[in-house]
Amino acid sequence: MLVVASLFGGTPAGAQEDALHRKILSELQGFVSWLEANEARGFVGEIGWPDEAHGGDSEQWNDLAEAWHQAADAASLWAGVWATGEWWHKTYKLAAYEDRRDPPGVDTPNTQAPVIEAHLSTDAYERAITVAGGEFAGPELVRTSTFSNHDPGKYDRDYHFDAPRTFRFLASRGIGTVRIEFRWEMIQRKLGGALHRGSMQLLDSVTLAARQAGLNVVLDMHNFGAYYLWNGRHGVRRPIGSAKLPIHYFADVWKRLSAHYKRDASIYYGLMNEPVGLEANGELSAAEVWEQASQAALDAVRANGDVNVVMISGYDYSPVRSWAEIHPDGWITDPANNFLYEGHHYWDRNASGAYEHSYEQEVAYAERHGF
């Protein structure tokens, strides 16, 4: 069972304890308390905050990030920063490490790095960063798209995996785990069919580069709970559990991925990034459909004799701030007892990670809402 520290007592010396601190740490405490009540481990798979180039308030955001990490440390939470990667534009405000020099590869710390590097992995928990790019070809929630299992994009035009230099650099900064994104349509072109050889070679290559740098890897299916299925004209978003995408297809792809990677215990499985837009089914709510689907996928992994770590996202974008409202109780049964519930936690007012307002504006907003 988790030992829950007082999250409100974690403000670092000299930092400003304000309404935004109180709001964000209260949200985090809610997630930790839910984990404790369900005797489960947790992974906050995405946190991110702006750099110095956007409003000049990175020191205030870093103070909040320091308080957040102190609370997460006390609760033995796994956590992962969003994000880094070669393909982020230099103006992207959440890129904690950037590619600023030739040859290709992330090579430069941004203003978030001191906080990240003060809170690295321990024996009690792991800390990670997402290396984005492998998911860039696919959309999120549009109903139809040119993207589909028929055309999941062209490598190095629509999506990209980072060079080995990125992973060596991150390891040199003390990072221990990376979260690597990929699309389901890319690696399985026919539902229920074999994994696509060429795409799996690409995924194997980036995974190997990370492993050779000494990093653990979270392989994260970045599909938002659906699959873009070609209908002869375009891709149509088919949510898991719908008539065109029964749950058994989701279990099938993870059974195949597990069979491919199960021999390496340092490969972890992120079953689905931010599932959303599922359909209620009879008496089951959309969140309960996701609960059934995630259990089925985990069962498929364990049926292979695979005991690797599995990350189970929450429904409706996996928000830490409303986790207990969406999922009143834990739902996963794991014979290996080696899974973590994965929430995401952005600190702007709509939890989007867009950070369209300054730090002081977000403080004022939190004050108006009683924090």
48 burial level (CB within 10 Å; 0-12, 13-18, 19+):
buried
Domain with residue 250: its CATH number is 3.20.20.80
- Structure-token pair, residue 220: 């994260």
Q: How many domains, the chain? A: 1
In a domain, 24, yes or no: yes
Q: Which residues contact 63 (CB under 8 A, 6 or more apart)?
A: 11, 12, 15, 16, 21
At residue 16, the pLDDT reads 58
196 in a domain, yes or no? Answer: yes
Q: What backbone phi and psi angles, to 5 degrees, belong to 267?
A: -95, 120
CA distance 265 to 307: 8
Place of tokens 């689907």: 293
Structure tokens at 53: 């180039």
The answer to whether position 269 is within a domain reads: yes
Residue 2 domain-assigned (yes or no): no
Q: The domain containing residue 167 runs over which residues? A: 7-368
Place of tokens 């949510």: 239
Question: In DSSP terms, which residues pair with 230 in a beta bridge?
Answer: 235
Q: What is the pLDDT of residue 17?
A: 83
pTM passes above 0.85: yes
The candidate with the shortest Cα–Cα distance to 147, out of 180, 183, 197, 181, is 183
Strand (E) or helix (H) holding 270: strand 267-270
Q: Centre a 10 Å sphere on the Cβ of residue 153 and count the other Cβ atoms it contains.
A: 19
Two tokens at 177? Answer: 């785990």
Contact 90, 149 (CB under 8 A): no
Instruction: Please check whether residue 15 lies inside any domain of the structure.
Output: yes
- Blockwise average pLDDT, block size 10, the chain, 371 residues: 39 66 98 98 98 93 98 98 96 97 97 98 98 97 98 98 98 98 98 98 98 98 98 98 98 98 98 98 97 99 98 98 98 98 98 97 97 94
Chain length of the chain? 371
pLDDT tens per residue across span 106-149: 999 999 999 999 999 999 999 999 999 999 999 999 999 999 99
DSSP three-state, residue 260? helix
pLDDT at 37: 98
